[in-house]
Structure 1
């Protein structure tokens, strides 16, 4: 352990803060010259839309807490305290939807989601409170053990009580007191902020949006130079007069009347020449690529059609949502369950409803499952959020088509187990004779 602890301590305090537990963004500077942080990035509609889609998707998925049964199946552990906390109300101030939406937003912007675990005297989890990622520091002590250090301000609620008057004090939390869901990272402990990693792309999107705003604010006309053949005593007054008369989108297309031989010469290229609109559109696709969200989900339908939009939605569930919910499930098992409980319980987000496809495809799938005997009527009704049929009325029966049989039993009605015909010729003749003697019976062809 001495050797391992020495290796752990070597990465306690990385020199580059973007490789550690917090992100300075190097003062938020980007190659476009725009200031980018997690909060300023949310002012971009594409970033806001991607974060909202993913956070609301994870928050709206049914989150269930299951127990393994003795027969190898599973059942909902509704009597366990964690079921109510995560399914309904993690703390007295939040619903489960708001709690998960908040943590997922933190995860998408800062790359980490933290929540303080409140336990009672028995060690049972009684509440979960979100913590701001930009105030959390993850480090190791001199023995190589992890700890979490959180900065608390006056308005914060810590340990279920209002904070003291001390401003900016730090609270040290042990790993069993923190639910930590890390995003993509290099050390497996702390995730990297997607906004920090893609700050140049987001900065360019902000710059193009600001350019468009200023373009229309200046009357949707290129800037230029007012030339006068003589000397102007007060150039600023002429400039302000021109701006007041022709500046702003409300003054667009006004006819300018120039006096005293003045001449207006534009010096800027047009937005079309600068491919302004194409740049804005590309940056929207770039931001969607960062969060792995299909462009049609943020309003870009250029490459979507009725033939592929459903497939893109299914891919969104499989390749975008599934990795996120797996992080959630495994992090909750690691932090909220005891070693003994980990053998008996597990968490599960139900994404089956998002993978069902359209109504006709679902009905065809249900019909196949029902006719082949691996789904009952109640199994189907539960997936469709319908009331169950009572068991005495056959709701739990598993049925198969009567015209299906095993290959080895295909000739069971023609021969017995020894391959001998069940009815000899004499027996067949005797049966026909008995039929002929039945009153009113007439054999075909007679």
Structure 2
């Protein structure tokens, strides 16, 4: 009896993540819609999941190489210890693609990405990602940054030499802004709409029509009718089943009301706002309502220029600042190959190669190297159009023959 009165209710749910802990403690981001927005609840919205996935997989598919610049020549720095970390495997349990995808996911959902730097002889040889919820950055009075990390073995304070920090745009220069926290009102409204839509389809018969009769039903008949109707005609699984009505019962369907129509429009507006939050064109998350053959190509170009390029530029700069030494930083830099986005467009690639060869920008072997083909003999020649050729010696000859 005492246990029933004063004991706590036990739960079989293990609290093994920060999101479950936030839910158990009643924390998270409160919204005016009454929904509590967390990272997990936001990802349960299909449009959020699609936007984050598109950004993460798009960056993950781009090859990232470490290059070395000598005068005007640039070569892959294959002898540098950081080259295989960026190109093949940042650590022993992740590929480069998986690592870059995780980095983008952390930026989209938390605004910050942290990784522990494993060094050998002063060079970074491994990057171990850390859950952003476990790290607290702090700017000290001497303008150095320290990171308090809550490891399972205990809390440790690490320096910039030990932590690689990539962040979105900031207000204080240190902590990246969390998109989920700042857009919690729109995300909370989307969660409320999803919950409303789920209840609407669960009790579809109630919203789609009414049962009416002129006779008075007894309590027993009413209870039997309610049980039978709920079990056989409510819910999506029981849609379109024939009804057997008695005692003068009549089914009167109700068409979609103006309120329901406004709900659909509001849901579309919320989804468009979420796409704007992540700067993902709607057609990439299967929203083709306003897409045409004339604008879909420009929307794809806009996605590369204004969605992917800011992210990969941010990562490239943090590689130079956080992973290279002061000496190597003067001659080495990281570069994502955005041209890999054209891998599926064979016609576009070949037309681009043709123009590059025609104007002397590329040689045939340069193009073959981009396609992973072996070089051919005589393929290192750069052409120059005849109408663009200059001959300084011709001018000298003309001066000699002039009277």
Specify the TM-score bucket, using the shorter chain as the normaliser. 0.7 to 0.9
Q: Does 1:123 align with 2:109?
A: no
User: What SS does structure 1 have at the residue aligned with 2:275?
Assistant: helix
User: What SS does structure 2 have at the residue aligned with 1:113?
Assistant: strand
Q: Does 1:329 align with 2:309?
A: no
Alignment of structure 1 residues 309-348 onto 2, 5 Å? 309-348=296-335
Residues 274-283 or 75-84, more deviating: 274-283
TM-score scaled by length of structure 2:
0.81
TM-score scaled by length of structure 1:
0.74
Q: Note if contact 1:325-1:349 (Cα within 8 Å) is conserved in structure 2.
A: yes
Q: C-alpha separation between the residues in 2 aligned to 1:226 and 1:305?
A: 45
Question: How far 1:220 sits from its partner (Å)?
Answer: 4.3
Q: Note if contact 2:137-2:145 (Cα within 8 Å) is conserved in structure 1.
A: yes
Q: Does 1:277 align with 2:264?
A: yes
Q: Note if contact 2:170-2:177 (Cα within 8 Å) is conserved in structure 1.
A: yes
Match of 1:399 in 2: 383
RMSD across aligned C-alpha pairs, in angstroms? 3.3
1:109-149 Cα shifts (integer Å, max 9, x gaps):
001111111123x3322211111111111124465532111
Alignment of structure 1 residues 29-428 onto 2, 5 Å? 29-69=30-70, 71-120=71-120, 122-141=121-140, 143=142, 145-153=144-152, 164=153, 169-222=154-207, 232=219, 239-253=226-240, 254-255=242-243, 257=245, 259=247, 270=256, 273-275=259-261, 276-354=263-341, 358-389=345-376, 393-402=377-386, 405-406=389-390, 417-419=400-402
Question: How far 1:270 sits from its partner (Å)?
Answer: 3.7
Q: C-alpha separation between the residues in 2 aligned to 1:373 and 1:269?
A: 66
Q: C-alpha separation between the residues in 2 aligned to 1:96 and 1:318?
A: 23
* Greater C-alpha radius of gyration: 1
Q: C-alpha separation between the residues in 1 aligned to 2:364 and 2:217?
A: 92
Higher helix share: 2
Note the residue ranges of structure 1 that are not aligned, 5 or more in a row: 1-21, 154-163, 421-446
Does the C-alpha gap of structure 1 residues 89 and 406 become closer, same or farther in structure 2, counting only changes over 3 Å? closer
Q: C-alpha separation between the residues in 2 aligned to 1:328 and 1:235?
A: 66
User: What SS does structure 2 have at the residue aligned with 1:148?
Assistant: strand
Q: Note if contact 2:208-2:255 (Cα within 8 Å) is conserved in structure 1.
A: no
Q: Note if contact 1:353-1:383 (Cα within 8 Å) is conserved in structure 2.
A: no
Q: Note if contact 2:205-2:233 (Cα within 8 Å) is conserved in structure 1.
A: no
Does the C-alpha gap of structure 1 residues 255 and 225 become closer, same or farther in structure 2, counting only changes over 3 Å? closer
| Count of matched residue positions in the alignment of Structure 1 and Structure 2 | 376
Question: How far 1:369 sits from its partner (Å)?
Answer: 2.8
User: What SS does structure 2 have at the residue aligned with 1:176?
Assistant: coil
Q: C-alpha separation between the residues in 2 aligned to 1:346 and 1:320?
A: 22
Q: C-alpha separation between the residues in 1 aligned to 2:63 and 2:237?
A: 50
Question: How far 1:89 sits from its partner (Å)?
Answer: 1.1
Q: Note if contact 2:342-2:348 (Cα within 8 Å) is conserved in structure 1.
A: no
User: What SS does structure 2 have at the residue aligned with 1:395?
Assistant: coil
Q: C-alpha separation between the residues in 1 aligned to 2:26 and 2:184?
A: 8
Highest RCO, 1 vs 2 (Cα 8 Å, sep ≥ 6): 2
Residues 142-151 or 184-193, more deviating: 142-151
Q: Note if contact 1:117-1:177 (Cα within 8 Å) is conserved in structure 2.
A: yes
Q: C-alpha separation between the residues in 2 aligned to 1:365 and 1:223?
A: 56
